[in-house]
Structure 1
Amino acid sequence: MLVIKSREKSAQLKGYESLNSRSSLSKDEQAIYSHLKSGFEGEILFDSYVESILGGDMFVLHDLLLSVNGSSIQIDALILLNNRVYLFEIKNYKGEYSYESGKYISKTGYTIVSPNNQLERTTTLFNQLMKQWNYSVNVNEKLVFINKEFTLFGAPPDDRVCLPTQVHTFLRNLNGQETALNPKMRQLANRLLDNHKQSVPFQLKLPDYDWEGLQKGPTCEQCRSFNLVYTQRSCTCKSCGFNTSRIDNIVGNIDEIRLLFPDMILRTHIVHEWVGGEVSIRTIRRLLNSQYKRMGHSHNAHYV
């Protein structure tokens, strides 16, 4: 088993993480952030199962963004076997739900948008893409409920649905189906990777914010705490214990600027203000010169 595309946080989740630490999100914005965070945690859990259970000659691609006939589709995971593709939609729902007339209804009466419809749309468009690319493959779609604290009453007799207690067994059964991948499937895996889009417009939808309204200072890459201790070479978070190099931490904070303010010209004083004066102008200038391309001279110098 070879993972040829690993999973990364979406730009939207990264943006919400930054805004949550540097500003005050509204109740509705907190709900969106919680949903994004929970979804990513569920996908990471699924990935850990895949990597610990699967073996043999198969390819795994996590979190693909593809364009099909002008429409964008996001595929949580793909597993490629010989002439077979398994397409996964992963949900990290928690609590007790009932399945009634195609709807998922929580114990409190809250109805969620049917993930079955989302899976069906993704599968339909993916099949169209395979036809356009002239690949004859058997696409098997799976809706995976990954959270062990999820219960579904009245689950439909649908082999596309995989409940938490069934995930391990399903993956182990895939090992039993494994045969040597033919060259065309290897070609398909590479083509999917080549056509992966880094982002789509709806992904970067964030709450309103501006430069002046955001708290300044370097934050931890792992927990977004401002409680950092710098030494000459390292950076340690006193809140979660995460340790990294001083350079990597500053570069990570510069990436925040580029994510939240993509049209802002990156200059030394901008970075100095963003990290709250915790790092000297001289250090920042040296780092920018070594890590980025310098454009212009003197007071007009900026970096890309």
Structure 2
Amino acid sequence: MLLKDREIPIEIFILEAILRRLPYNHLKRPKVEEDLRKRYAGYYGEQSIDYHLSFLEDNKYMFLHNLRLPWKDDTYFQIDSLILSPSYIILLEVKNMTGTLFFDEPAKQLIRTKTDGTQECFSYPITQSNRHVLQLNSWLRQHKFPNIPIISYVVISNSSAIINTNSNDPNFYEKVTHAVNLPEKIHPLIDLYPNKILTVKKLNKIAEQLVSEHTPSKPAMLERYGIKSEELQKGLFCEDCKKLSLKRNRGSWKCTSCNSVSKDAHLRGLADYFLLIDNTITNQQFRSYFHIESRSVAAKLLQKSNLPTSGSYKDKTYHLSLSELEKWMTRN
């Protein structure tokens, strides 16, 4: 049973918004484009996992993807995929990488060798996976749930990647696997862990608690690239010609470049604003950022957006939470 689907990462929405508003000749644009390609590759890699998980018996498991849970001192830990059963929990650490992947056990590092011979070093996925098991165990104890075995796998989603290691652990290839092997690794667990520790009621309670404590984040990606908000172009984006050239015309948005018409282009624009600038917006800020002259027109558009508000009529502020923003982006 799927209880929490795999959403498009918020980083992808932010990078796309940056590229919509970053001038084509900006020095940081190639880096943003490269990172967006990597983010999409990672997302598609995680999606491919879901196909292989579909071979498991759906009525025996609960699936939750992309969880971000509170840890200690206002920090969080993230889990790519979690599979719940009455007898055990399966935790998946998903890596979407190509080339030759060398798991250097003594140095606790992952070295990737690309087809052109260049190498990159990454954090050791097994260490990450073990840490997430520790954190999830702590989370379960904190909520007074029964002690239950947690089995973790590092899953390489790209089937063309070559896995090598210098590890002396005979169980290394039980911990690290290609995605296609997941069903045959998971199926035997039913016999290895026959004792049902959790009732259906308790299992549902754990799943509900996990979903309720999932806390999305909105990383400050402009700061990460050293891009100031003043460097971004204002206005509304035309979905047809990909230019910031929409103007208000007789109750619609008309593109001054290709003449296409949109009724709700301001919704995508508002999403860009919330992704890149702030979680709140006023009438004056709305008019300034999207080149709207009329205060009353701006007020009507904001009102129709059905955003929560605070303040009086003249000082009204419109809010959009991150969880609502994610729903908005997938809807619009």
TM-score range, shorter chain: 0.7 to 0.9
Q: Aligned pair 1:99/2:103, yes or no? A: yes
SS at match of 1:98: strand
Asked if the contact 1:105–1:112 (Cα under 8 Å) also holds between the matched residues in 2, the reply is yes
Q: TM-score, normalised by structure 2?
A: 0.71
Asked if the contact 1:145–1:162 (Cα under 8 Å) also holds between the matched residues in 2, the reply is yes
SS at match of 1:65: strand
Segment drifting more, 203-212 vs 7-16: 203-212
Q: Aligned pair 1:77/2:81, yes or no? A: yes
Deviation at residue 126 of structure 1 after TM alignment: 0.9
Deviation at residue 39 of structure 1 after TM alignment: 2.2
Match of 1:86 in 2: 90
Residues in 2 aligned to 1:226 and 1:251: alpha-carbon distance in whole angstroms: 16
SS at match of 1:110: strand
SS at match of 2:46: helix
SS at match of 2:16: helix
Residues in 2 aligned to 1:42 and 1:99: alpha-carbon distance in whole angstroms: 19
Q: 1:68 aligns with which of 71, 79, 91?
A: 71
Deviation at residue 154 of structure 1 after TM alignment: 3.9
Q: TM-score, normalised by structure 1?
A: 0.76
In 2 relative to 1, CA 65–293 (structure 1 residues): closer, same or farther, beyond 3 Å?
A: closer
Asked if the contact 1:142–1:160 (Cα under 8 Å) also holds between the matched residues in 2, the reply is yes
Question: Identity over the aligned pairs, expressed in percent?
Answer: 20
Counterpart of 2:133, as a letter, is: T
Q: Aligned pair 1:50/2:50, yes or no? A: no
In 2 relative to 1, CA 202–82 (structure 1 residues): closer, same or farther, beyond 3 Å?
A: farther
In 2 relative to 1, CA 200–252 (structure 1 residues): closer, same or farther, beyond 3 Å?
A: closer
Q: Aligned residues, how many? A: 291
Match of 2:216 in 1: 198
Q: CA offsets, 1:183-235, max 9 Å, x none?
A: 111111111112222227788963333343112343478x9944899999999
5+ residue gaps, structure 1, are 236-244
After TM superposition, list the pairs within 5 Å mapping 1:1-304 onto structure 2.
Answer: 1=1, 3-23=2-22, 24=26, 25=28, 32-51=35-54, 54-70=57-73, 71-101=75-105, 102-107=108-113, 108=117, 109-134=119-144, 135-154=146-165, 157-167=172-182, 169-170=184-185, 182-199=200-217, 206-219=224-237, 225-226=242-243, 246-247=263-264, 249-262=265-278, 266-275=281-290, 284-290=298-304, 291-293=306-308, 295-298=311-314, 300-304=315-319
Residues in 2 aligned to 1:90 and 1:224: alpha-carbon distance in whole angstroms: 37
Asked if the contact 1:143–1:160 (Cα under 8 Å) also holds between the matched residues in 2, the reply is yes
Q: CA offsets, 1:100-123, max 9 Å, x none?
A: 334332333322221111111111
Counterpart of 1:63, as a letter, is: N
Deviation at residue 7 of structure 1 after TM alignment: 2.6
Counterpart of 1:250, as a letter, is: H
Residues in 1 aligned to 2:152 and 2:232: alpha-carbon distance in whole angstroms: 42
RMSD across aligned positions (CA):
4.0
Residues in 1 aligned to 2:266 and 2:55: alpha-carbon distance in whole angstroms: 34
Residues in 1 aligned to 2:187 and 2:252: alpha-carbon distance in whole angstroms: 42
In 2 relative to 1, CA 253–26 (structure 1 residues): closer, same or farther, beyond 3 Å?
A: closer
In 2 relative to 1, CA 170–9 (structure 1 residues): closer, same or farther, beyond 3 Å?
A: same
Asked if the contact 2:55–2:183 (Cα under 8 Å) also holds between the matched residues in 1, the reply is no
Asked if the contact 1:54–1:171 (Cα under 8 Å) also holds between the matched residues in 2, the reply is no
- Greater C-alpha Rg: 2
Asked if the contact 2:235–2:246 (Cα under 8 Å) also holds between the matched residues in 1, the reply is no
Segment drifting more, 76-85 vs 147-156: 147-156
Asked if the contact 1:57–1:81 (Cα under 8 Å) also holds between the matched residues in 2, the reply is yes
Asked if the contact 2:66–2:80 (Cα under 8 Å) also holds between the matched residues in 1, the reply is yes
In 2 relative to 1, CA 292–72 (structure 1 residues): closer, same or farther, beyond 3 Å?
A: closer
Counterpart of 1:158, as a letter, is: Y
Asked if the contact 2:45–2:158 (Cα under 8 Å) also holds between the matched residues in 1, the reply is yes
5+ residue gaps, structure 2, are 254-261, 320-332
SS at match of 2:226: coil
Residues in 2 aligned to 1:122 and 1:267: alpha-carbon distance in whole angstroms: 41
Deviation at residue 286 of structure 1 after TM alignment: 1.8
Deviation at residue 254 of structure 1 after TM alignment: 0.6
Counterpart of 2:98, as a letter, is: K
Counterpart of 2:174, as a letter, is: D
